[in-house]
Structure 1
Amino acid sequence: MKISVVTTMYNSSIYLQEFYSRIKRSIEELEFSYEIIMVSDGSPDNSLEVAKNIQKQDSHVMVIELSKNFGHHKAILTGLSFATGDLVFLIDCDLEEEPELLGQFYSIWENNERKYDVIFGVQENRSGTFYKRIAGSLFYKLFNYLSDVHISENICTVRLMTKGYVDSLLRFKDKNVFLAALFEKTGFEQMPVIINKTYKGSSSYNLFKKIALMTEAITSFSSKPLSLIMITGLTFSSVSFVYAIYLIFRKVLNSSVIGGWTSLMVSVWFLSGLILFSLGTLGIYITKIYNETKDRPITIVKAIYGLQNGEKLNE
């Protein structure tokens, strides 16, 4: 049996050597033939050079250099597209997820008579700062509420997958990629496993990137925001109509003019903000349609260092 290990690199140079040593030891314990695919996602540090040095020492390593930073999820899909093993082990190389999980996941797969196509990691309690834990919990709850795809809370990157599952996953041609939902959307038999994930105190996802990811995720897998806009508009229109009838009756019966400049201005500002928000939401969906119709590749591979099908692709 052959296994493909796929990982991505972004500011990862300090972890790569230890990651490689530990993942190779795990593979050797299983006595598999293997390939290790490292994708450099436009990393600003010297991750690429470290990975190339590892590749020179081990011909089973393939290093894929992307032309720029395309994003974690797109880099993962690129790496998976090069995997040729019967099993594919996806893991981040920052050591927050232990490389030794390969052996654990494989044992679970074997003990369940290989009936599962995916064994994936889930944190029992989300690690990180209080803000990170709360934000993560709210993200998953909001996504699951709005989307028709339900994903496990605190899901991790690490997973052991069959080649058939990976091939099916790669059939999705979404240009706007949110992997956690695509993993679930692909279907097949999947089994979550509780794991311990450490937190190293920093993340390449800042607040704006997290907001962008949430927007990307929800608008890629749900049309509920559009329905909510319609329901909100209908509700305000109905209330306004009823209130207009009430004012007409007040005017006819009492000949009184109701004042309220402050309440009027508050209403104008509130409704104006609601209109702009609604237009912005519509704009996001239109932009996503525009991006999909252009059919551009999700990443550009600049160079490949290593062996594939027995041929040297790049020096």
Structure 2
Amino acid sequence: MDISVVVPLYDEVESLPELTSWISRVMDENRFTYEIILVDDGSKDGSWEMIRKLQTGNPFIKGIKFRRNYGKSAALNTGFIAAKGNVVITMDADLQDSPDEIPELYRRINEEKYDLVSGWKAKRHDPLSKTIPTKLFNAATRKMSGINNLHDFNCGLKAYRGVVVKNIEIYGEMHRYIPVLAKWAGFTKIGEQVVEHRPRKYGKTKFGLSRFINGFLDLLSIFFVGKFGKRPMHFFGLLGTLSFFAGFFITVWIIGEKLYNLAHGLTVRQPTDNPLFYIALVAIILGSQLFLTGFVAELVSRSASERNHYQIEETI
């Protein structure tokens, strides 16, 4: 099968007929073999009933229905598991992503051998309350991930080699950082394509301001797990050692100062009267705790079933 189109949706009953018809027309015009996987994330507006109706007229449509709303990451992850295409395309269900972009995305994966091609909505039809925070997050993600050639990590319109989606796991709000997950999994040929961003035709956006806070926390999680997931002691142990020795050297300084004053008949103050005493105490305690945290994290890591799971591209 050439292409799997994965579409997560939540209360998008009005847009589904037009979207699926548009996708099918593009596929037929380009003679692609395909499937459309519609993942209903707990809709309450009749979206699932519409999917059933559409499926009777189009055997290439497949539906997955959640019992409740789990979020876009869960919907995408489930769609990736079900996808059978050599190339997987993701797009939103609100008609703001154009299916006319599919042939070029497919060509770049199939012919230019990209692992992932992410859309860039250079001209957006969103309010400033959404575009400005998005630009800040994209800048932070580029800085932390080292993927400097992407302008819009969160664009819903993306194309992947099938093997990529089978080797990444998405949860929480991590759908915003799929290129980062792909890079950590060893898929480093990541490209970008300018795509059309259409005004929303039906309904209203389902995302609130809380997504920016959750997105930032997930970015920190991705960075930490990707870099130190299999060696947590290197992170906690280093911080703990630095903190402990900083406290130790401050303690030595306080003792040395007291001995010097005693030897020269100078006024000797109590250690507790010196602010450095409390700084040293906190540093030693914090360092010990961080070091012990590293030991515990290392034990957990070594006991995990994924401790020796690595991405293998090929064997002969």
TM-score, with normalisation over the residues of structure 2?
A: 0.68
Cα drift, residue 125 of structure 1: 5.7
In the alignment, what sits opposite 1:252? 259
Contact 1:124/1:194, CA 8 A, preserved across alignment = yes
- Larger RCO (CA within 8 A; separation ≥ 6): 1
Match of 2:207 among 180, 203, 222: 203
Is residue 2:210 matched to residue 1:214? Answer: no
1:121 partner letter: S
Cα drift, residue 276 of structure 1: 11
Match of 2:152 among 136, 154, 165: 154
Kindly indicate which of the two structures has a greater share of residues assigned to strand: 1
Cα drift, residue 13 of structure 1: 3.3
Cα drift, residue 102 of structure 1: 0.5
2:222 partner letter: A
Contact 1:4/1:89, CA 8 A, preserved across alignment = yes
Report the Cα distance in structure 1 between the residues aligned to 2:152 and 2:288, rounded to whole angstroms: 33
In the alignment, what sits opposite 1:298? none
Q: What SS is found at the alignment partner of 1:222?
A: helix
**CA 1:179 to 1:3, structure 2 compared with 1: closer, same or farther past 3 Å?**
same
Is residue 2:36 matched to residue 1:24? Answer: no
Q: What SS is found at the alignment partner of 1:206?
A: helix
Contact 1:118/1:159, CA 8 A, preserved across alignment = no
Bigger CA drift: 2-11 or 68-77? 68-77
Matches within 5 A, 1:39-78: 39-78=39-78
Cα drift, residue 138 of structure 1: 1.8
* Structure 2: runs of 5 or more not aligned: 125-129, 262-266, 307-316
Report the Cα distance in structure 2 between the residues aligned to 1:82 and 1:48, rounded to whole angstroms: 18
Q: What SS is found at the alignment partner of 1:7?
A: strand
Report the Cα distance in structure 1 between the residues aligned to 2:282 and 2:199, rounded to whole angstroms: 41
2:53 partner letter: N
1:21-72 Cα offsets, whole Å, 9 max, x none, are 3322322321334321111233454332332232233222111113444443
Report the Cα distance in structure 1 between the residues aligned to 2:275 and 2:198, rounded to whole angstroms: 52
Report the Cα distance in structure 1 between the residues aligned to 2:197 and 2:297, rounded to whole angstroms: 35
2:162 partner letter: V
Report the Cα distance in structure 2 between the residues aligned to 1:284 and 1:101, rounded to whole angstroms: 48
Matches within 5 A, 1:69-218: 69-108=69-108, 114-118=111-115, 120-123=117-120, 128-142=130-144, 144=145, 152=150, 154-155=152-153, 156-161=155-160, 165-167=161-163, 169-171=165-167, 179-184=178-183, 185-187=185-187, 190-197=190-197, 203=207, 206-218=211-223
Contact 1:105/1:119, CA 8 A, preserved across alignment = no
Identity of aligned residues (%): 18
* Structure 1: runs of 5 or more not aligned: 295-315
Report the Cα distance in structure 2 between the residues aligned to 1:28 and 1:160, rounded to whole angstroms: 19
Cα drift, residue 214 of structure 1: 2.4
RMSD: 4.4
Contact 1:97/1:196, CA 8 A, preserved across alignment = yes
Between the two proteins, the alignment pairs up a number of residues equal to 284
1:238-259 Cα offsets, whole Å, 9 max, x none, are 2222222221222122242167
Cα drift, residue 191 of structure 1: 3.7
Is residue 2:241 matched to residue 1:234? Answer: yes
Contact 2:241/2:291, CA 8 A, preserved across alignment = no
Greater Cα radius of gyration, structure 1 or 2 = 2
TM-score, with normalisation over the residues of structure 1?
A: 0.68
